């Protein structure tokens, strides 16, 4: 699969098959993604790859804690600005509405919405979870570097016929995850990535969020000019 096809076919998968992913495939994906650029070649990402019993124990622990803490712990970073302005607020709202529409959940159906929200912490049934950490001493440029690494992971996954879903929501369980993974104290959980084979029959996987036109986010100058 070439990179343009990988970009076009990647989506945030929210229903996976239980089919296992071999460890060597995960290693190959991470090896390919390690070529992502980073300022000064710092390579600031740290990954814990879980499958099988270790992953199920973590998922089970979160499930138990959600009965007493349904929204999780206070996060160590803010995923969205507190007062999200336009056009970003409308994009976020539309993405949420479109997602719930695929599974027939009305806005006022809080129970069903809560049930779908909790699926985040089952990794949507994915057989592999990648838990991605950053060193706390790093700054915004290294967060951007980590984003390029994550995109590279997701594109490399497509080359192996896999799909993925990057989930910042997992950061709200950072202490519980740390109890299981034992990362160094200087590492901060940024996100998890669900990885596996997509359930192509699941309606929720039919969602394709809208993208702004190139003209909406780009100003072109100097093209077509003659010397």
pLDDT at 117 over 90: no
Helix axes 140-159, 23-33, angle to 10 degrees: 130
pLDDT at 9: 96
pLDDT at 1: 87
pLDDT at 192: 98
Residue 107 or 84, more confident: 84
What are 139-181's pLDDT values in tens digits? 999 999 999 999 999 999 999 999 999 999 999 999 999 999 9
Residue 226 or 84, more confident: 84
pLDDT at 107: 86
What are 22-47's pLDDT values in tens digits? 999 999 999 999 999 999 999 999 99
- d(C-alpha 221, C-alpha 124), whole Å: 44
pLDDT at 225 over 80: no
CB 57 within 8 A of CB 180: yes
pLDDT at 227 over 80: no
For the chain, domain boundaries? 3-80+121-206
The SS3 call for residue 102 is helix
pLDDT at 224: 82
- d(C-alpha 205, C-alpha 117), whole Å: 15
What are 1-27's pLDDT values in tens digits? 899 999 999 999 999 999 999 999 999
In the chain the beta strands, taken as DSSP E runs, fall at 45-51, 128-135, 163-167, 187-196
- d(C-alpha 167, C-alpha 130), whole Å: 10
CATH architecture of 3-80+121-206: 3-Layer(aba) Sandwich (3.40)
- d(C-alpha 32, C-alpha 159), whole Å: 10
pLDDT-derived band at 75, boundaries 50, 70, 90: confident
Q: Give Cβ neighbours of residue 46 (< 8 Å, ≥ 6 apart).
A: 132, 133, 134, 135, 183, 187
């Amino acid at each position: 699969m070439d990179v343009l096809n990988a970009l076009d076919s990647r989506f945030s998968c929210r229903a996976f098959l239980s089919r296992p992913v071999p460890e060597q495939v995960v290693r190959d994906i991470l090896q390919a993604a390690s070529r992502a650029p980073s300022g000064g070649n710092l390579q600031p990402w740290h990954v814990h790859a879980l499958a099988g019993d270790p992953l199920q124990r973590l998922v089970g622990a979160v499930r138990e804690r959600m009965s007493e803490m349904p929204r999780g712990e206070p996060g160590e970073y803010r995923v969205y600005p507190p007062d999200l302005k336009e056009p970003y607020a409308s994009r976020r709202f539309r993405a949420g509405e479109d997602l719930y529409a695929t599974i027939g959940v009305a806005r006022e159906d809080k129970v069903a919405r809560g049930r779908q929200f909790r699926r985040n912490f089952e990794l949507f049934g994915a057989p592999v979870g990648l838990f991605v950490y950053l060193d706390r001493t790093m700054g915004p440029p290294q967060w951007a570097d980590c984003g390029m690494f994550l995109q590279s992971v997701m594109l490399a996954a497509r080359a192996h016929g896999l799909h993925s879903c990057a989930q910042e929501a997992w950061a709200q369980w950072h202490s519980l995850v740390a109890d299981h993974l034992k990362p160094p104290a200087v590492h901060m959980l940024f996100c998890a990535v669900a990885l596996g084979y997509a359930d192509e029959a699941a309606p929720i996987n039919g969602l394709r969020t809208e993208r702004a036109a190139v003209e909406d986010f780009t100003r072109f100058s100097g093209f077509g000019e003659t010397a």
